[in-house]
Structure 1
Amino acid sequence: MNTFGLVQIGLILLCTTTMSSLNCNHLPLQQRKAIENSLQLLDKMGKKFPHRCLREKMSFRFPEQVLKPKQKETVKMAIEEIFQHIFYIFSKNLTLAAWDGAALEQFQNGLYHQIEQLEACVTKKQTQYFWIKEINRLKLKKYFQKIDCFLKDKKHNLCSWEISRAEIRRCLQLIDKAVRKLYN
């Protein structure tokens, strides 16, 4: 490769790094706005919680301790993991949910955008945060598997989706609370 090609690659990498760091400086504000938007979209997607679904309600027990470490990087990693799980759940077998399709698509796009931002901003200090990240990852995986199994057991019926939507709303509210504490 000639010198001109190497300079171009260097400039592209510099611009990408600069853009990422600029976005990362505003991450807390962006996250709070994205979470607020996601909560509004969750409300818009469906109607009022069906009263008949109350008897099927289940406690999934979100592992709140994953959002309480002292290191900002660990919390960011946990939030990224949570968004990935939510994206996965809300990307499959939604036919019986009877939700507003446009709101659902906006919700999915917003989650995907947040995942990309967090991936770009989270420093990969694997050695320092490896054990905490791994323990948190396993706790979150278990939590989201409960939701996924619940949906499968109920054959992805309307009530199972409405209960899951309510649980994800609670989850996003906990993330919002953690982001506020982390940056205040």
Structure 2
Amino acid sequence: MAFVLSLLTALVLVSYGPGGSLGCDLSLNHVLAGRETRNLLKQMRRHSPHFCLQDRKDFAFPQEMVEGGQLQEAQAISVLHEMLQQSLNVFNTTRSSAAWDTTILEQLCTGLGEQLADLDGCLQQVTGEEDSALGRTGPTDAVTTYFKGIHVYLNEKEYSDCAWEIVRLDIRRAFSSSASLQERLRM
């Protein structure tokens, strides 16, 4: 009985720690999974970016919005959720499997899916059923527009190796920018 009581006490204390302070259980594992995502995106490199200079494109990632401290909690979670969902959409296609090492690509997509599952619960907790549109405006729309540009670009470039390399590099930068946002959500 004392063991069960100790365990329950520990669970209560953990739920009021840094991960639970935002009404969302965004664990350290989620932050670590974000680091793994960036690492996998780095490992996917197949060409030198210098080889693909002629294919460079500014997709206008809304970096100021993501890195800035002015996002409300619901907006921050919504932005991260949209980034994960859209990245999964980009890399979870038959065209991407032709461009990348399938083992690394599968690890990336699995990790993105797991992070999305973490954020699904958080997004529902923070925004609630009625207020779900609140977090999905402004910064989230900017992230959606960013990824629409990526899809258009890949299509225009006929999913060439260099187009994929430029997209991989840009999405990796976007995830690096969002790392501070993930850390802030955990605190």
For Structure 1 versus Structure 2, the TM-score category normalised by the shorter chain is 0.7 to 0.9
Number of aligned positions between the proteins? 163
Tell me the residue number matched to 1:13: none
How far apart, CA to CA, are the structure 1 residues paired with 2:29 and 2:161?
Answer: 32
Match of 1:154 among 145, 157, 163: 157
Match of 1:170 among 147, 158, 173: 173
Describe the shift of the 1:150–1:70 C-alpha distance in structure 2 as closer, same or farther (beyond 3 A).
Answer: closer
Tell me the residue number matched to 1:12: none
How far apart, CA to CA, are the structure 1 residues paired with 2:71 and 2:154?
Answer: 34
CA contact (8 A) 2:90 2:96 kept: no
Describe the shift of the 1:66–1:119 C-alpha distance in structure 2 as closer, same or farther (beyond 3 A).
Answer: farther
5+ long unaligned stretches in structure 2? 1-11
- TM-score, normalised to structure 2's length? 0.76
How far apart, CA to CA, are the structure 2 residues paired with 1:145 and 1:162?
Answer: 17
CA contact (8 A) 1:151 1:157 kept: yes
5+ long unaligned stretches in structure 1? 1-17
- Residue 43, structure 1, aligned to residue 56, structure 2: no
Give 1:115's aligned amino acid.
L
Deviation of 1:135 (Å): 2.6
Q: Which moved more, 1:143-152 or 1:47-56?
A: 47-56
How far apart, CA to CA, are the structure 1 residues paired with 2:129 and 2:72?
Answer: 13
Give 2:50's aligned amino acid.
H
Describe the shift of the 1:164–1:70 C-alpha distance in structure 2 as closer, same or farther (beyond 3 A).
Answer: closer
- Residue 94, structure 1, aligned to residue 96, structure 2: yes
CA contact (8 A) 2:84 2:112 kept: yes
Cα RMSD over matched residues?
A: 2.4
Which runs of at least 4 in structure 1 moved beyond 3 Å after TM superposition? 126-129, 181-184
CA contact (8 A) 2:154 2:164 kept: yes
How far apart, CA to CA, are the structure 2 residues paired with 1:136 and 1:128?
Answer: 16
Match of 1:134 among 134, 137, 147: 137
Give 1:94's aligned amino acid.
S
How far apart, CA to CA, are the structure 2 residues paired with 1:96 and 1:109?
Answer: 18
How far apart, CA to CA, are the structure 2 residues paired with 1:50 and 1:156?
Answer: 16
1:1-184 → structure 2 map (5 Å cutoff): 25=20, 27-67=26-66, 68=68, 69-92=70-93, 93-97=95-99, 99-122=100-123, 123=125, 124-125=127-128, 127-128=130-131, 130-184=133-187
- TM-score, normalised to structure 1's length? 0.77
Give 1:133's aligned amino acid.
R
